[in-house]
């Protein structure tokens, strides 16, 4: 599962090469063949399409963000007078610092990081332990538990929202409320069956001989988990981590409901509230500060993210 899942195209190419009696396909061809590219009309037509494609991608993918960066360091007058400019005149570098201090962005950013980190840890622990139990230990009741876990994938989170909120207000059997604490975000984040599905499928593909050999050598389940499975599972743990972090960073509705105390709210909840009575330039500076960390993570891990999306439906 490691390489094949993360690089299906490469695997398929290898399989095609290995298949006997097959003519190797022309390298790199898709719908258009080299012959098509050799025809002048087709070539110019597709160059035109591709130029339009890049123009559209830059216009919609990059320019709004460049505009946001420019607006964050512009004066309000400049924004009104030259709405389409991509360079500030005069540049107001102090906006970022002012927004940071006046709006308390630092606190909200820290809250976001804290909430994301906790959700990430909880999701990793749940996915790795449950995946290990279901794929490696394989108790007799494992498939019933797995089915019960997967069923939750078919119930949209918004449908159980109110009941989940009431649960958080008064944990059944314990009788305490975790609303307005980070736990209200961390713990429900762990109840995400898709992570377990990913972990289990990955662990399923590890040869069982490894575990049996370790058992013969006297290793217990915990040793097998820590010494064999976890070190071999870095690719899938990385995918789960990226999914967890990016989802948690984007989360809005749930923290809006359970974190009513502004001192705990993440940026995504605080920004719309601040937007109502803030100078636009400061607000946009806040938007930039909230966007920079995910953009950096994306650019740093874009290959893993892009190749991971094809099979996870990451959003």
Partner 1 sequence: MTSAPTRLPVPTTSPAGEAPRHPAPAAAPPRRRVPGMRRRASLAGLVFLVPALVLFGYFAWWPIARSVVLAFQQTNLVDPAEWVGWANFEQLFADPLLPTAALNTLWFAALSLLIGLPIPLFVAVAMSELRRGGALARVLAYLPVVIPPVVSVLLWKVFFAPGENGVVNSALGLVGLGPFPWLQSPELAMPSLVIVATWSGAGTAILIYLAALAGVSTELYEAAELDGASIWQRVWHVTLPQMRGVILVLLLLQIIGALQVFTEPYVMTDGGPANATVTVLLMIYRYAFLFGNYGVATALSVLLAVVLVIVSAVYLRLTRSWSSS
Residues 10-69 that bind partner 1 (CB under 8 A): 11-12, 22, 25-26, 28-33, 35-37, 42, 46, 49-50, 53-54, 56-58, 60-62, 64-65, 67-68
Which one, 130 or 237, has the nearer CB to partner 1? Answer: 130
Print the binding letters for residues 277-306 with partner 1: x by CB under 8 A, - otherwise.
---x--xx--x--xx--xx-xxx--x--xx
From the number of C-beta atoms within 10 Å of its C-beta (0-12, 13-18, 19+), residue 301 rates as: middle
Give the Cα separation of 147 and 273 in Å (integer): 41
Among 146, 242, 245, 264, binds partner 1 (CB under 8 A): 146
Which one, 264 or 267, has the nearer CB to partner 1? Answer: 267
Residue 70 touches partner 1, criterion: CB under 8 A: no
User: Both tokens of residue 38?
Assistant: 């050799």
Which one, 98 or 256, has the nearer CB to partner 1? Answer: 256
DSSP string, 273-290: HHHTTS-HHHHHHHHHHH
CA-based R_g, the chain, Å? 25
Of the candidate spans 90-98, 99-107, 121-129, 230-238, the one that interacts with partner 1 by CB under 8 A turns out to be 121-129
Going from the C-alpha of 78 to that of each of 74, 85, 275, the distances in angstroms are 6, 9, 19
Give the Cα separation of 250 and 297 in Å (integer): 13
Q: What residues have CB less than 8 Å from 289, skipping those under 6 apart?
A: 96, 99, 100, 105, 109, 267
Which one, 96 or 134, has the nearer CB to partner 1? Answer: 134
Residues 150-189 that bind partner 1 (CB under 8 A): 152-169, 171-172, 187-189
Q: How far is the CB of 258 from partner 1 (least distance, A)?
A: 10
């Amino acid at each position: 599962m490691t390489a094949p899942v993360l690089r299906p195209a490469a695997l398929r190419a290898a399989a095609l090469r290995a298949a006997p009696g097959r003519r190797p396909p022309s390298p790199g061809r898709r719908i258009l063949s080299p012959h098509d590219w050799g025809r002048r009309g087709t070539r110019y037509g597709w160059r035109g399409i591709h130029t339009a494609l890049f123009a559209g991608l830059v216009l919609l993918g990059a320019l709004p963000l460049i505009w946001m960066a420019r607006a964050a360091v512009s004066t309000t007058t400049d924004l009104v007078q030259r709405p389409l400019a991509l360079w500030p005149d005069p540049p107001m570098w102090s906006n970022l610092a002012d927004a940071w201090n006046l709006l308390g962005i630092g606190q909200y950013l820290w809250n976001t990081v804290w909430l994301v980190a906790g959700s990430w840890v909880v999701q990793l622990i749940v996915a790795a332990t449950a995946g290990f139990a279901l794929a490696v230990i394989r108790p007799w009741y494992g498939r019933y538990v797995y089915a019960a876990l997967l069923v939750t994938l078919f119930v949209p989170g918004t449908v159980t929202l109110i009941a989940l909120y009431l649960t958080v207000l008064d944990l059944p059997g314990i009788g305490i409320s975790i609303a307005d604490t980070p736990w209200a975000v961390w713990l429900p984040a762990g109840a995400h069956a898709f992570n377990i599905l990913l972990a289990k499928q990955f662990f399923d593909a590890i040869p069982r001989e490894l575990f049996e050999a370790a058992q013969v050598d006297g290793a217990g389940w915990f040793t097998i988990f820590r010494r064999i499975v976890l070190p071999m599972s870095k690719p899938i743990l990385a995918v789960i981590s990226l999914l967890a972090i990016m989802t948690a960073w984007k989360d809005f509705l749930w923290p809006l409901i359970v974190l009513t105390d502004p001192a705990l709210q993440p940026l995504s909840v605080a920004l719309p509230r601040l937007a109502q009575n803030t100078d636009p330039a400061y607000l946009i500076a806040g938007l930039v500060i909230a966007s920079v960390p995910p953009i950096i993570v994306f650019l740093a891990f874009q290959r893993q993210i892009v190749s991971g999306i094809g099979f996870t439906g990451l959003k």
